Amino acid sequence: MIKKLIQHGNSAALVLDKPILDLLNISFDTPFEITTDGKNLILSPQNEVITDNDILMSLQKINKKYHKVLKKLGE
pLDDT given at position 12: 96
pLDDT given at position 14: 93
Sketch out the chain's domains with CATH numbers.
6-74 (2.10.260)
Cβ-proximal residues to 46 (8 Å cutoff; 6+ apart), any chain: 30, 31, 32, 33
The CA-based dihedral angle spanning residues 55, 59, 61, 62, taken in that order and rounded to the nearest 10 degrees: 140
pLDDT of 19 strictly over 90: yes
Q: pTM to 2 decimals?
A: 0.52
d(CA 8, CA 6): 6
State pLDDT tens for residues 25-68. 888 888 898 999 999 999 998 866 778 888 899 999 999 999 99
Tell me the percentage of the chain whose pLDDT exceeds 90. 61
